[in-house]
Amino acid sequence: MVSTHPAGVQHSGSQYLPQASTSNTSLSPNQELLPLTARVNSDDHLEIGGCDVTTLVQQFGSPLYILDEQTLRIACQQYQDSFKRYYKGEFQVLYASKAWSCLSICAIAQNVGLGIDVASGGELYTALEAGVSPDKIYFHGNNKSREELRYAIESGITIMADNWHDLLQSVELAEAQHPVRMMLRMTPGIDCHTHEYIRTGHLDSKFGFDPGDLDEVFTFVSKQQALNCVGVHAHIGSQIFERQPHRDLAALMVQWLTQATSYGLNLTHLNVGGGLGVKYVESDDPPSIEEWVKPICEVIQEACATENLPLPKLLCEPGRSLIAPACVTAYTIGSSKMVPEIRTYVAVDGGMSDNPRPITYQSVYRAVVANRMSAPLTESVTIAGKHCESGDIVIKDAQVPKTKPGDVLVVMTTGAYNYSMASNYNRLPRPAAVIVANGEANLILRRETYQDLIRQDCLPQRLKS
Ligand code: LLP
């Protein structure tokens, strides 16, 4: 099948390149399929951050996560600039590190002035090891263990109290003279249209205090010397394109601040969570980072003026929109199978272990053949992973040029919830990741080895032959 443009012009991988030049920092990365520095070089190869992707695969092997530093920094900067522009009070952008937690990414976030949202002791450890300052770390989770809470409290970070268990344990663990700094996560009862597994704002959610508990929670917190409750938090879900739910959320949250005053609570922080979507395929049309930030700021400012409340310190915690568009995954094409009159499978050297999103959420992706960027997209094939599972499909019906073993297939927008959800299924070593900038590539994650795979295995003496 020949894929053509309505005017009859053949498409090629180059169609996915960002439209403006690399010096143009006004593109919102979450509205692009490829990182902002992507270009095609004179060998007709895809280049990112000044590095030839085909050469990177020769050097570092595949599958390979390739993270473009400039795209990540621009996305962080756009959040910061938008708040500076539209919010008259203080603000703090946090990176939701569940999207991809590792030392280098936390270090970049810290370097550009972002704080970090962590959702486990492991993410907290990573952020601290990366040098993130504890006063910029916020700890989420609907079932924090006592050890995690103790670690968080001793580290001096802020606890996002999700439920009574968190509140009661924090009171027990608080050290004399050192009240635990916390914010309250509420379930806002706001619905949005996204995959049911990644919706969190509707009432039937495992996260946060039910709105019906507000009175009891405010009463409890206001009487506890051991707790220093500074504000409220809510997160309605992820990969959201609609604009209204976050406006509704902002208005509702200001009401919570007003309600808190009648309990003698002076809540000065308001965290609207994350959730801005990204473009995975051409038809995805998320708002830009600025278009997401602006109405939230406006609604909060208007509502505070009406309620006669001072402006709270405004926090948000994007994950996907910061990191997803900055990264691609490069695979090497191997075998193929033609099923007459049904489909052709083309297999790559990774799959559901490095990107579990297609099998988990039926997520769709786009890919290019990095070593033949201007070749016309003449084939419609199904890109299969290498796992022993029929559902291990990376992309159904991908439009690609004619492929051969050894070609480098690049799947785009893979920075969020890929590495962080990667597994060792079939005992595949997890891929390496490199960060690219100005023609230089540095490892940020070493490829796992077979020795790494058995590192935690124990072989009791009596089982040894
Ligand atoms: N804050 C909280 C409390 C969250 O639970 C999340 C994401 C975020 C912030 C960041 O949301 P983002 O800006 O990335 O949309 N594994 C799923 C996504 C799960 C999202 C979990 N929470 C996926 O691959 O689509």
Q: Work out the pLDDT band at 26, boundaries 50, 70, 90.
A: confident
pLDDT for 38 equals: 98
> Could you say which of 273, 299, 318 is where a domain stops?
318
Q: Give nearest CA residue, ligand 1 atom 9.
A: 274
In whole angstroms, give the CA distance from residue 291 to residue 303: 19
Q: What's the rounded mean pLDDT across residues 123-135? A: 98
Q: Work out the pLDDT band at 2, boundaries 50, 70, 90.
A: very low
Do 212 and 361 lie in one domain? The reply is: no
CB of 163 closer than 8 Å to CB of 141? no
Do 304 and 359 lie in one domain? The reply is: no
Which atom of ligand 1 is closest in space to residue 239's alpha carbon? 15
pLDDT for 1 equals: 39
Do 384 and 276 lie in one domain? The reply is: no
Could you give the percent of the chain with pLDDT greater than 90? Answer: 91
CATH number where 226 lies: 3.20.20.10
> Could you say which of 318, 352, 370 is where a domain stops?
318
Do 279 and 373 lie in one domain? The reply is: no
- Which of 98, 166, 355, 417 is the pocket-test mutation for ligand 1 (most atoms within 8 Å of CB)? 98
Q: Is residue 215 part of a domain?
A: yes
Q: Is residue 83 part of a domain?
A: no
pLDDT at 3 over 70: no
Q: Work out the pLDDT band at 317, boundaries 50, 70, 90.
A: very high
For the segment 240-298, what is each residue's pLDDT rounded down to a tens digit?
999 999 999 999 999 999 999 999 999 999 999 999 999 999 999 999 999 999 999 99
In whole angstroms, give the CA distance from residue 253 to residue 251: 5
Q: Work out the pLDDT band at 9, boundaries 50, 70, 90.
A: low
pLDDT for 5 equals: 47
Which atom of ligand 1 is closest in space to residue 277's alpha carbon? 15
Could you give the percent of the chain with pLDDT greater than 70? Answer: 95
CA of 109 to the centre of ligand 1 (A): 17
Do 305 and 373 lie in one domain? The reply is: no
Do 301 and 361 lie in one domain? The reply is: no
Do 52 and 187 lie in one domain? The reply is: no
For the segment 136-174, what is each residue's pLDDT rounded down to a tens digit?
999 999 999 999 999 999 999 999 999 999 999 999 999
Which atom of ligand 1 is closest in space to residue 160's alpha carbon? 3
Do 311 and 399 lie in one domain? The reply is: no
Ligand 1 site residues, Cβ closer than 6 angstroms? 96, 98-99, 117, 140, 198, 200, 235, 238-239, 273-276, 317-321, 357, 361, 416-417, 421
For the segment 62-87, what is each residue's pLDDT rounded down to a tens digit?
999 999 999 999 999 999 999 999 99
pLDDT for 57 equals: 98
CATH number where 393 lies: 2.40.37.10
Which atom of ligand 1 is closest in space to residue 363's alpha carbon? 25
Do 158 and 277 lie in one domain? The reply is: yes
Q: Work out the pLDDT band at 93, boundaries 50, 70, 90.
A: very high
CA of 298 to the centre of ligand 1 (A): 24
Q: What's the rounded mean pLDDT across residues 90-111? A: 98
Q: Work out the pLDDT band at 203, boundaries 50, 70, 90.
A: confident
For the segment 342-399, what is each residue's pLDDT rounded down to a tens digit?
999 999 999 999 999 999 999 999 999 999 999 999 999 999 999 999 999 999 999 9
Q: Give nearest CA residue, ligand 1 atom 23.
A: 417
- Which of 206, 320, 364 is the pocket-test mutation for ligand 1 (most atoms within 8 Å of CB)? 320
pLDDT for 8 equals: 52
Q: Is residue 370 part of a domain?
A: yes
Q: Which domain holds residue 47?
A: 28-67+327-452
Q: Is residue 10 part of a domain?
A: no
Q: What's the rounded mean pLDDT across residues 318-322? A: 98
Q: Is residue 149 part of a domain?
A: yes
CA of 231 to the centre of ligand 1 (A): 20
Which atom of ligand 1 is closest in space to residue 240's alpha carbon? 15
Q: Is residue 22 part of a domain?
A: no
CA of 274 to the centre of ligand 1 (A): 7
Q: Is residue 463 part of a domain?
A: no
Q: 0.85 cut: is pTM over it? A: yes
> Could you say which of 301, 318, 335 is where a domain stops?
318
CA of 411 to the centre of ligand 1 (A): 21
CA of 235 to the centre of ligand 1 (A): 9
For the segment 27-67, what is each residue's pLDDT rounded down to a tens digit?
999 999 999 999 999 999 999 999 999 999 999 999 999 99
Q: How many domains does the chain have?
A: 2
What mean pLDDT, rounded, does the chain reach?
Answer: 95
CA of 172 to the centre of ligand 1 (A): 30
Do 53 and 185 lie in one domain? The reply is: no
Q: Give nearest CA residue, ligand 1 atom 3.
A: 235
pLDDT for 177 equals: 76
Which atom of ligand 1 is closest in space to residue 238's alpha carbon? 15
For the segment 385-417, what is each residue's pLDDT rounded down to a tens digit?
999 999 999 999 999 999 999 999 999 999 999
Q: Work out the pLDDT band at 204, boundaries 50, 70, 90.
A: confident
Question: What is the set of active-site residues?
Answer: 388
Do 209 and 356 lie in one domain? The reply is: no
